[in-house]
Chain A
Amino acid sequence: MTTDNVIEISGLRKSFGAHEVLKGIDLVVPKGKTVVLLGASGSGKSTLLRCVNFLETPTAGTVAFNGKPVGTPKGTGGERSYSDRELRALRAHIGIVFQQFNLFPHMTALENIMEGQRAVLGRSREEAAARAEALLARVGLAGRGGAYPSHLSGGQQQRVAICRALAMDPDVMLFDEATSALDPELVGEVLRTMKALREDGMTMLIVTHELGFAYHIADEVVFLSEGRIYEQGPPEQVMLHPKGERTRQFMLGHSEFRLPHLD
């Protein structure tokens, strides 16, 4: 097992009641690389992403973080048990950005970014505030730290949410349809922030419907269909010359996928 992979998923299954959403996924996210999950809605890509930081508990299979499998085996069926303490420690190293931002509405932007640093990393107020200010400046929101989320645009809220995750100095960032809830004119600012992260060498696992963006940012594209990996490879291969029929249909179905440019 190499430790060059931040995330190694093997044999991952997830059922909701009788409905099996993920039917055995094997996937690695190498350090410093960007992996993009594509697929129709219901294909399981968001569930897969949420299994990585255990917001959804896998039914079977393992997720290894920096080479170390999470949880302990429980019986023979591939089930594992996870302690609260272990999951909290894991989550502190994994940043996630949600479709609906999920900022804390009763805290200012700055307090949102400070909360995890204070509660989990035990940083002092001054240290946490300084880090938060620096991150806000990095995403073009210098001086907006005092604003409550309701006084920020969707794009600004999402950039604050990205800062909140980055403040924990995560080893990997997960993006769960981070731009799907945004007005079209606000999508660009969030995508640019994500692109800058990639250039800084951040390891990322991204679920998105922005195919043009996926093409430009991905080191590897993974196309999911009905809970399984249907096709995967470099974006040029999967998105321009798909081998599988379902992949081809998906790419054709997204007429807004115009290649190649991104401002």
Chain B
Amino acid sequence: MDAFLSPSLAISLPALARGLVHTLELAAVCLVASLLLGLVFGVMRYAGGRVLHALAIAYVEVFRNTPVLVQILWFFFALPILVQFEISAFTAAALGLSLNSGAFSAEIFRAGMQAVPTGQWEAANALGMSRARVMFRIVLPQAVRHMIPAFTNRWIELFKLTSLASVIAYPELVYSAQQISNSYFNPVEVFTLVAVIFIALVIPASYLLRRLEARLRRSAP
């Protein structure tokens, strides 16, 4: 315990706190962006015409089957050469993580919507409802219930993957920890603390998602 309260760690705390804020920012942006990408491409694959369907498959296959790290490095180092513009570490990391996670999310949306019985489409169609209305009022609300466990896993994974942004020097939690550890030679304390911070954030979040899922099931099974 004494080792943990060492002066070097106390000095490190503000920098780690800034790193944590950056991690949370990156995670929040990627979570929202990947949800939107997943919704758009998932719906395209589930209910789109031939062209939209093919586009959605291409997107999913490209971004699901390449390592996120490669995507982040590509956006940071390769894209600026191809299109001649500056890209920040944050933007490159957010692009790679969102597009990758969006591809997995699209598959979660598709599977969730496919689990809704066709009788629901028939009943809604028979009332004369438009496709968009059927999608957003009838199919998606039912599909979301099936999707929460899969999204819990996805978001835990996404949150941990933000650590990859450290390779392009985005000062998130892990990059900050590396800097501190290099300056104060205290890797045991710093990296243990980083691990504890991840656990302390992920476990309550997944608990809350389980509660949400249980509540949705209770309200309208």
Contact = CB atoms under 8 A, between A and B. Distances in A.
B129 interface: yes
Contacts of A92: 127-128
Contact of B119 (A88, A100, A168): A100
B125 A55 contact: yes
B129 A119 contact: yes
Contacts of A165: 126-127
Given A98-B119, A148-B221, A150-B221, A104 B138 contact: yes
Interface in A115-169: 115-116, 119-120, 148, 150, 161, 164-165, 168
A96 interface: yes
Contacts, number: 69
B210 interface: no
A105 B220 contact: yes
A119 B122 contact: no
A102 B127 contact: no
B123 A103 contact: yes
Nearest to A161: B123
Contacts of B127: 91-92, 115-116, 119-120, 164-165, 168
- Considering residues A98, A103, A105, A150, which has the most beta carbons from chain B within 10 angstroms of its beta carbon? A105
Contacts of B131: 84
B137 A119 contact: yes
Interface string B116-156: 01011011111111110100011001100100000000000
A21 interface: no
Nearest to B131: A84
A89 B126 CA distance: 10
Given A98-B123, A100-B119, A102-B120, A116 B129 contact: yes
Interface residues of A, number: 29
Given A88-B129, A91-B128, A119-B137, A102 B220 contact: no
A100 B131 CA distance: 22
Q: Please classify how large the interface on chain B is, using the bins under 10, 10 to 19, 20 to 34, 35 or more.
A: 20 to 34
B221 A88 contact: no
A89 B205 CA distance: 46
A178 to B, nearest CB: 13
Contacts of A107: 220
B126 A106 contact: no
Nearest to B127: A116
A115 B137 CA distance: 9
Nearest to A100: B119
A178 B119 CA distance: 14
Given A105-B221, A106-B220, A55 B128 contact: no
Interface string B89-131: 0000000000000000000000000000101101111111111
A104 B128 contact: no
Nearest to A108: B220
A140 to B, nearest CB: 22
A105 B142 contact: yes
A96 B126 contact: yes
Given A98-B119, A150-B220, A150-B221, A106 B128 contact: no
Interface of A: 53, 55, 84, 88-92, 94-96, 98, 100, 102-107, 115-116, 119-120, 148, 150, 161, 164-165, 168
12 contacts: A84-B131, A88-B128, A88-B130, A91-B125, A104-B124, A106-B220, A107-B220, A115-B127, A116-B127, A116-B128, A119-B129, A168-B127
4 closest A-B pairs by beta carbon, nearest first, are A92-B128, A116-B127, A102-B123, A102-B119
